[in-house]
């Protein structure tokens, strides 16, 4: 688990680092892994494969998603993705509310108990979708997200990179509000994810999501194994 103290504001009304780069400080025995990427990238498949592999090895794994990882999050998900038009800034604020509640209610407690938390989307999705895709500004959305989650960053973020046209073909006919956006929107989102990964390469793994599913899983598992091996031993205060 990675907590970082906020730095003086670089943009927007919330205290936040200009980038998330820097040396993480582990504060619990848990491991926080996040999957990011555009719609149709195959995140849910890779989340399931990773969780199954880790569980088979004896790890306690918590699988979750954003939005929708809590009862409140499920309501926000339905409102934002399947409801009527939501203004872009309202959309960003609703997603931030989901993350704030999700982190306090589920993610932090699981990490403190030494579990591996695997989430389908986290703060980078808001920065990419609302900051880049909606053109609200990556800096302001980053600041909002950082404040909402109290500075909690994943130990490892895996970006499944896929062209917008491929993602569209994979999604099929049933689309939510964001999936229904044009390819230009989704290419902006893709660039947003890649820009975030470039700013803090040590905390990211970017993989070609057009590769075979099993090949992707092997790449992901190898990197997660390295992150697990690097975890600090729990102190008495951290032990569940």
Annotated binding residues, written as ranges, equal 37-44
Which residues sit in the known binding site for ATP?
37-44
What CA–CA distance (Å, rounded) separates 147 from 124? 13
């Amino acid at each position: 688990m990675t907590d970082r103290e906020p730095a003086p504001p670089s943009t927007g009304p919330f205290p936040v680092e200009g980038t998330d780069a820097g040396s993480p400080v582990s504060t619990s025995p848990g491991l926080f892994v996040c999957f990011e990427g555009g719609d149709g990238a195959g995140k849910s498949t890779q989340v399931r494969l990773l969780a199954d592999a880790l569980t088979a090895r004896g790890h306690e794994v918590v699988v979750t998603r954003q939005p929708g990882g809590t009862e409140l999050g499920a309501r926000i998900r339905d409102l934002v993705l399947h409801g009527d038009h939501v203004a872009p800034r309202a959309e960003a604020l609703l997603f931030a509310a989901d993350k704030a509640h999700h982190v306090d209610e589920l993610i932090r407690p699981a990490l403190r108990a030494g579990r591996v938390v695997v989430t389908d989307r986290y703060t980078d999705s808001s920065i990419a979708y609302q900051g880049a895709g909606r053109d609200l500004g990556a800096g302001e959305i980053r600041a909002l997200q950082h404040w909402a989650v109290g500075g909690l960053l994943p130990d490892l973020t895996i970006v499944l990179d896929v062209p917008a046209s491929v993602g569209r073909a994979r999604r099929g006919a049933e689309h939510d509000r964001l999936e229904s956006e044009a390819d230009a929107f989704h290419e902006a989102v893709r660039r947003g994810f890649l820009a975030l990964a470039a700013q803090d390469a040590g905390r990211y793994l970017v993989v070609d999501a057009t590769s075979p599913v099993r090949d992707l899983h092997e790449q992901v598992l190898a990197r997660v194994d390295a992150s697990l091996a690097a975890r600090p031993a729990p102190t008495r205060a951290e032990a569940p």
